[in-house]
Amino acid sequence: MVGNALGLILLGFGAIILTPIVVALLEHEYTSILPFCTASLCAIALGLLLQYRGGWNRNFDTIKRSEGLLVVTLTWLVTAGIGAIPYLFYGLSPLDAYFESVSGITTTGATILKDFSLYPKVFFFWRSLSQWLGGMGIIVLFVAILPQFAVAGRRMFFAEAPGPTDEKITPRITNTAKALWLIYVLLTVVEISLLYYAGLPLFAAVCNGLTTMAAGGFSPHPESIMGYNNHAVTWIITAFMFLAGSNFALLYRFMVQRKPRPLFASEEFRLYAFIITFLAAILFCILLFGHGKPATESLRDSLFQIVSIITTTGFSSADFALWLVPAQAVLLAVMFVGGCAGSAGGGVKVVRILFMAKFLKRELTQVVHPHAILPIKIDRTTVPDETQRQVLGFLLFYVVLMVLSGLLVTMIEGSASIGFIGTAATIGNIGPGFGEIGPMGTFGYLSIPTKIIFIVDMVVGRLECIPLLVMLHPDFWTKHSGAKR
């Protein structure tokens, strides 16, 4: 069943990966047709092989939870491998190609590229498109377009869905997936149109529009958004990064169903907006008085960078690696927040920060009133004990993985900055860090073991630890006849 499900997804992915050929034809980059045809054939061949070995079974209604988790994890690992094939044709080593592909599809935006002038436009289009596909979620896409996943899609949908939320727009999970992709596509088209109207060339507008809504951060310009030197573009991208970090289900209700109340009544959204406003104000003061920048430039850069980091997009409107330490400390703090649940953003998620604040407040109150019954409520709804355990478990795994990864990379690279900042940037799917791996830097000079560790961090961070870590438990691989797992 797992093979059949993965095979079906690969058949669809094989068709999608042909899309850059259109750009190759429009830009007369005919030598770039072969890489994507090869990748497509590999995806289709592997998909057909898995379908054949699985007996061509298309009924996934009885798929178990553990099998759903395995399908989700394998989908991300294998599609990243398929997505890396075109990069091999442009001189990247297999490891660098896989790193760039994983960084794209997980919407991390950490690049190994050293010289952007070596690659054609179709290369950068595929980087942007891969991020756009991963932003809303590959599984969510195929749940929306493949009727075979009408029932089984529920298990895979919530295994991939970013953040501890079970919010559905409609009773049917397939309709929910379609609604989410609808608002995602609409916002992307609107942003591309505005960027083009603001003066960006069409190709740059498309690539940056795709990666903004994906909260990805890959840009065809080596200096990111700073390189365009266009203030209108900076403000437009700031606004759409903010939307990309918001809950898409609530955005759908607001923009399509015209129900603004759920969005503005959401405690998570209000905290998300407050964190951005508060920290942007602090950063504004540091840039204004510490760096002596003009007020308009300080406001623009502070708001842009706070929104970029909290949504884990990773764009830069300035080389913040050159800012004062207090300014960098503010950005480092934002790295540990993330976007809203159900958004394209990565990281810990605002809802978990909100939960932890309420959890700690309850524990302190419980010390004073030991016999009081104090349920934790978010949006006037009591958080179930199971959800509380999941959130605490996630946070524990997140911290443990960050410490282990940071220590290993520090020993390998001989730099605590690369070790811990790089880990925070990759496990949070943020992208650039500081110093050598800063907004104008590259991960390309890192050693092979470090790149492998960061690849693991990116995948685990995008799948939010549990789907991948649960496979380390021996019982996951034990078959129980007739039992639900």
Strands 377-378 and 381-382, bridge-based pairing = antiparallel
CB atoms within 10 A of CB 382: 11
List all residues 6 or more positions away from 210 whose beta carbon is below 8 Å from its beta carbon: 128, 129, 131, 132, 188, 192, 216
Per-residue pLDDT band for 164 (boundaries 50, 70, 90) equals low
Residue-averaged pLDDT of the chain: 88
Residue 467 has pLDDT above 90, yes or no: no
- Where on the phi/psi map is residue 465: left (φ > 0), alpha (ψ -120 to 50), or beta? left
Could you tell me what percent of the chain has a pLDDT over 90?
61
Rounded-to-integer distance, Cα 397 and Cα 401, Å: 6
List all residues 6 or more positions away from 38 whose beta carbon is below 8 Å from its beta carbon: 85, 86, 89
Q: Are 120 and 97 in contact (CB under 8 A)?
A: no
Residue 217 has pLDDT above 50, yes or no: yes
Report which secondary-structure segment, H or E, holds 381.
strand 381-382
Cα 300 to the chain's mean position, in Å?
24
From 59-73, 95-109, 163-177, the region with the lowest mean pLDDT: 163-177
CB atoms within 10 A of CB 433: 27
Q: Are 183 and 255 in contact (CB under 8 A)?
A: yes
- Report the pLDDT averaged over residues 302-324: 92
How many C-alpha atoms does 352 have within 13 Å on its Cβ side?
24
Residue 222 has pLDDT above 70, yes or no: yes
Counted residue by residue, the chain has a size of 485
- Report the pLDDT averaged over residues 147-159: 60
Strand partners, 115: none
Per-residue pLDDT band for 485 (boundaries 50, 70, 90) equals very low
- pLDDT in the model for residue 433: 83
List all residues 6 or more positions away from 362 whose beta carbon is below 8 Å from its beta carbon: 374, 376
Question: What are 282-294's pLDDT values in tens digits?
Answer: 999 999 999 888 9
Rounded-to-integer distance, Cα 95 and Cα 452, Å: 8
Residue 172 has pLDDT above 70, yes or no: no
Enter the DSSP assignment of 169.
S
The amino acid present at 122, given as its one-letter code, is: V
Question: Which is higher by pLDDT, 161 or 261?
Answer: 261
Per-residue pLDDT band for 480 (boundaries 50, 70, 90) equals low
- Where on the phi/psi map is residue 63: left (φ > 0), alpha (ψ -120 to 50), or beta? beta
Strand partners, 382: 377
Residue 169 has pLDDT above 60, yes or no: no
Question: What are 227-263's pLDDT values in tens digits?
Answer: 999 999 999 999 999 999 999 989 989 988 888 998 9
